[in-house]
């Protein structure tokens, strides 16, 4: 067996690939691409919700939202650390995010216009994230799989806090119910797009499935999401903005309408409603945080010198 065959046989036997193990270059590249895009999504994903921390309607809601946004920062950091085990520098990844050459999830380029959007992000965006990420806990690459276990536990709290916000609105005044429906109308389709292009147009899926990085295709996960959300929407007393959703007895799944792929690719290419604003905010935060990084490095250096003196 050559190196590549040995590698595939380990993957097939569900033996985790660890950073120092031999791996094909393309496997390493695919993981750096996916994990770094994922890390960037967590970091940029803090911005739409962070926007509402000062406007949360009660102390309880504010505490929940702060905790959630802080969790996303933590997820970003685990994921950058997982990417680093593959030999890429964190600064290189930051540069790619800041110069606009790195991708991050399309969903975070949409604005948060009402308080209900914070609920919709929890319900739909974290709901989609969980659907996609639970299988990643079984990813063939050890550091990514292990990071995802904790991420998924936290995402499930996020999904519940979002659903609870919406449930409260669904039992509120007519104005609150209208805010809820309007928000779901705006977030439904972008959430469906989070799963990526349909299988026929997804260049990476087949190889990532063979390598057990991905366990399900984009369309399989999207279908699971529709099936789950249909029932949850009934509890919230909202309509999903897709007239084509209907139960298909033969398939045992809900059929759904055509996704606007032109909109998806437009957002991915940088032309969504908030792409420019998101990157500008990230760059500003990075620049304004330079002194913290410098202070931390100086402190670490001092500690190191002290240790050497004692030795």
What is the binding site for ligand FAQ (CB under 6 A)?
Answer: 33-34, 37-38, 41-42, 45, 72, 103, 105-106, 121, 125-126, 129, 132-133, 193-197, 202-205, 208, 218, 268
Six-digit token string for 59? 């102390």
Per DSSP, 257 falls in state -
Say if residue 51 is exposed, middle or buried (CB neighbours under 10 Å; 0-12, 13-18, 19+): middle
Cβ-based neighbours of 12, under 8 Å, separated by 6 or more: none
Burial class (CB in 10 A: 0-12, 13-18, 19+), 128: buried
Smaller CB separation from ligand FAQ, 38 or 186:
38
- Using CA atoms, how far apart are residues 221 and 217, in angstroms rounded to an integer? 6
| In the complex, least distance from residue 151 CB atom to ligand FAQ, rounded to whole angstroms | 8
Query: Of 64 and 310, which has the nearer Cβ to ligand FAQ?
Result: 64
Query: Could you give the CA distance from residue 218 to residue 20 in angstroms, rounded to a whole number?
Result: 30
User: Least distance (Å) from ligand FAQ to the CB of residue 27?
Assistant: 13
3-state secondary structure of 255: strand
Please report how close the Cβ of residue 258 comes to ligand FAQ at its closest, in angstroms: 17
Q: Which is nearer to ligand FAQ, 138 or 177 (by Cβ)?
A: 138
Residue nearest to ligand FAQ (CB): 45
* Closest approach of ligand FAQ to the CB of residue 135, in Å: 9
The conformation of residue 33, written as its DSSP 8-state character, comes to: H
How deeply is 16 buried, as exposed, middle or buried, from its count of CB atoms within 10 A (0-12, 13-18, 19+)? middle
Which residue, 134 or 169, is less far from ligand FAQ as judged by CB? 134
Q: CA 118 to CA 51: how far, in whole Å?
A: 10
- Return the number of the residue (177 or 266) whose C-beta is nearest ligand FAQ: 266
Q: Min. distance of Cβ 47 from ligand FAQ in angstroms? A: 9
Residue 235 corresponds to which tokens in the numbers above? 């509890």
Minimum distance, C-beta of residue 279 to ligand FAQ, in the bound complex (Å): 14
Q: Which is nearer to ligand FAQ, 28 or 33 (CB)?
A: 33
């Amino acid at each position: 067996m050559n190196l590549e065959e040995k590698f595939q046989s380990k993957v097939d036997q569900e033996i985790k690939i660890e950073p120092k193990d031999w791996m094909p270059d393309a496997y390493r590249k695919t993981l750096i691409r996916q994990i770094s895009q994922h890390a960037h999504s967590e970091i940029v994903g803090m911005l739409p919700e962070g926007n509402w921390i000062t406007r949360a309607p009660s102390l309880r809601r504010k505490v929940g939202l702060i905790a959630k946004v802080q969790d996303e920062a933590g997820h970003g950091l685990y994921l950058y650390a997982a990417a680093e085990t593959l030999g890429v520098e964190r600064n290189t990844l930051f540069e790619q995010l800041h110069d606009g050459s790195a991708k991050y999830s399309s969903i975070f380029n949409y604005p948060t216009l009402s308080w209900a959007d914070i609920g919709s992000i929890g319900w739909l965006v974290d709901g989609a994230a969980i659907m996609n990420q639970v299988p990643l806990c079984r990813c063939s690459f050890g550091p990514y799989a292990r990071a995802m276990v904790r991420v998924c536990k936290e995402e499930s709290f996020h999904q519940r806090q979002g659903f609870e916000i919406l449930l409260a609105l669904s039992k509120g005044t007519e104005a609150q119910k209208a805010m809820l429906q309007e928000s779901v109308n705006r977030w439904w389709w972008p959430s469906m797009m989070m799963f990526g292009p349909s299988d026929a147009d997804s260049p990476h899926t087949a190889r990532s499935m063979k390598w057990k990085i991905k366990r399900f295709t984009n369309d399989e996960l999207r279908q699971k999401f529709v099936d789950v959300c249909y029932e949850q929407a009934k509890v919230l007393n909202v309509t999903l903005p897709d007239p084509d959703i209907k139960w298909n007895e033969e398939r045992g799944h809900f059929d759904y309408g055509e996704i606007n792929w032109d909109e998806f690719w437009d957002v991915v290419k940088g032309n969504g409603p908030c792409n420019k604003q998101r990157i500008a905010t990230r760059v500003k935060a990075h620049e304004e945080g330079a002194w913290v990084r410098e202070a931390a490095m100086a402190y670490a250096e001092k500690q190191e010198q002290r240790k050497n003196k004692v030795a």
